[in-house]
């Protein structure tokens, strides 16, 4: 864990006013979208606009991704070529279904890097898993290239492909979301949960974000600025959690010095997994500057 990816705020590349404002909301990452948020007739102009603007805005440390169109569409390859030449170093690949999809993007990136004197391997990939086939292949996707830094789940396309409605209870998503988390963890990459489309339903959004944290996601995609601060609150360890973790780590150190194994802190057993979890919380808090 060395980069915070709690929030990925989507912003349509066809909306210059919105994309100038995105850093104001301080998401950990911004995803400029050239795919589904952009009308077919606007694809070329949105790409041009984004490439023009990307270097003139101060994103002050926010990680920038661009969601390109899939490589099987007439826009995908040009999207990748132009945004990488404009300086983008993170691509979100939508509708990713197999390791071959990643390999195709990897070959294209290698070619673009060579042609433009860009360090080989410097462009990273986030694979969006949003079909049943993608879910079934999520581990091979996550391990298909050293460039893959994260995999994300997309519930809107997933439910479309499954032929069901997306419900607020999200029972139709539970297996797939957990599978994406397990594949990401097994591959040591980040797992990013899906967007919540009902921007007026904050209660539903918060419930889903809390569940995302509970089942192991590293963060959640957002579509509206109001969602960003809620995800940060949920995914940031609280002061109490950090204090409790420090207490556990200190007690474990003392026990080790005394040659003791398992101990108890505040009536709860503390052994190796508990200590490791406490260390993870403290390290996360360090990244998030809670300490
Ligand atoms: C299934 C998928 O593929 S999801 C991914 C693709 N979808 C997207 O990228 C959509 C991203 N989100 C949006 O485009 C917008 O939030 C919308 C269209 C849904 C709603 O936008 P609005 O009607 O403007 O919402 P609202 O009035 O609440 O916005 C409040 C302010 O936040 C800004 N804002 C809203 N969403 C965003 C965003 N994603 N990024 C930056 N700014 C935003 C608005 O411009 C507005 O700014 P202002 O007060 O200066 O005028
Ligand atoms: O990746 C996401 O969360 C958004 C998306 O494309 C989908 O849900 O189909
Ligand atoms: Mg989608």
Å from CA of 18 to ligand 1 middle: 7
Residue 289 banded pLDDT, cuts 50, 70, 90: low
Across 52-56, 209-213, 236-240, 274-278, which has the greatest mean pLDDT? 209-213
Per-residue pLDDT at 227 exceeds 50: yes
* CA–CA–CA angle 155, 201, 236 (5° rounding): 75
* Residue 261, pLDDT score: 85
Nearest C-alpha neighbor of 184 from the set 172, 195, 193? 193
Per-residue pLDDT at 277 exceeds 50: yes
How far does CA 92 lie from the centroid of its chain?
Answer: 9
User: Using an 8 Å Cβ cutoff, are 39 and 13 in contact?
Assistant: no
Q: 3-state DSSP call for residue 275?
A: helix
Per-residue pLDDT at 291 exceeds 60: no
* Residue 1, pLDDT score: 53
Per-residue pLDDT at 222 exceeds 70: yes
Tokens for 36, please give them. Answer: 């589904």
User: Using an 8 Å Cβ cutoff, are 93 and 127 in contact?
Assistant: yes
Per-residue pLDDT at 48 exceeds 50: yes
Per-residue pLDDT at 288 exceeds 80: no
For ligand 2, mutation pick of 33, 36, 69, 155 (most atoms within 8 Å of CB): 155
Dump the DSSP string for 224-248: SHHHHHHHHHHHSPPHHHHHHHHHH
d(CA 224, CA 9): 7
User: Using an 8 Å Cβ cutoff, are 93 and 32 in contact?
Assistant: no
Mean predicted confidence (pLDDT) in 35-47: 98
* Residue 62, pLDDT score: 95
d(CA 56, CA 50): 10
pTM score = 0.94
For ligand 2, mutation pick of 36, 128, 132 (most atoms within 8 Å of CB): 128
CA-33 nearest atom, ligand 1: 9
Q: Is 128 in the pocket of ligand 2 (CB under 6 A)?
A: yes
Tokens for 39, please give them. Answer: 């009308």
**How do strand 190-193 and strand 148-153 relate by DSSP bridges?**
parallel
Residues 6+ apart with CB under 8 A from 186: 139, 142
Per-residue pLDDT at 287 exceeds 80: no
Dihedral sign for Cα 91, 55, 108, 157, please: positive
- Tell the residue nearest (CA) to atom 2 of ligand 1: 36
d(CA 278, CA 245): 4
Residue 57 banded pLDDT, cuts 50, 70, 90: confident
d(CA 217, CA 242): 19
Query: Could you give the residue ranges of the DSSP H alpha helices within the chain?
Result: 16-21, 43-53, 76-85, 99-115, 132-136, 138-142, 155-162, 174-186, 202-215, 225-235, 239-257, 272-287
Q: Where on the phi/psi map is residue 9: left (φ > 0), alpha (ψ -120 to 50), or beta?
A: beta
Q: What is the mean pLDDT of the chain?
A: 95
Mean predicted confidence (pLDDT) in 213-232: 97
Per-residue pLDDT at 290 exceeds 50: no
Tokens for 223, please give them. Answer: 């579509």
Per-residue pLDDT at 258 exceeds 80: yes
pLDDT digit string, tens, across residues 117-134: 999 999 999 999 999 999
pLDDT digit string, tens, across residues 145-191: 999 999 999 999 999 999 999 999 999 999 999 999 999 999 999 99
């Amino acid at each position: 864990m060395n980069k915070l990816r709690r929030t990925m705020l989507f912003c349509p590349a066809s909306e210059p006013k919105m994309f100038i404002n995105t850093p104001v909301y301080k998401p950990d990452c911004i995803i400029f979208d050239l795919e589904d948020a952009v009308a077919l007739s606007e694809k070329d102009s949105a790409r041009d606009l984004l490439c023009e603007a990307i270097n003139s805005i101060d994103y002050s440390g926010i990680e920038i991704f661009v969601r390109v169109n899939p490589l099987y569409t007439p826009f995908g390859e040009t999207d990748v070529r132009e945004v990488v030449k404009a300086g983008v170093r993170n691509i979100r690949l939508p509708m990713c279904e197999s390791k071959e999809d990643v390999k195709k993007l990897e070959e294209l990136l290698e070619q673009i890097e060579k042609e433009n004197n860009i360090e080989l391997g410097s462009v990273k990939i986030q694979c969006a898993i949003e079909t049943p086939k993608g879910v079934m292949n999520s581990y091979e996707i996550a391990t298909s290239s050293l460039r893959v830094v994260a995999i994300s789940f997309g519930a809107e396309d997933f439910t479309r492909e499954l032929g069901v409605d997306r419900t607020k209870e999200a029972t139709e998503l539970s297996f797939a979301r957990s599978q994406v988390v397990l594949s990401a963890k097994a591959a040591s990459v980040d797992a990013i949960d899906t967007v919540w489309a009902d921007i007026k339903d904050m209660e539903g959004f918060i419930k889903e974000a809390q569940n995302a944290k509970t089942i192991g996601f590293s963060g959640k995609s957002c579509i509206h600025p109001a969602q960003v601060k809620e995800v940060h609150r949920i995914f940031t360890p609280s002061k109490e959690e950090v204090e409790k973790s420090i207490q556990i780590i200190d007690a474990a150190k003392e026990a080790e010095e005394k040659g003791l194994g398992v101990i108890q802190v505040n009536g709860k057993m503390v052994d190796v997994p508990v200590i490791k979890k406490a260390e993870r919380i403290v390290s996360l808090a360090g990244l998030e500057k809670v300490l």
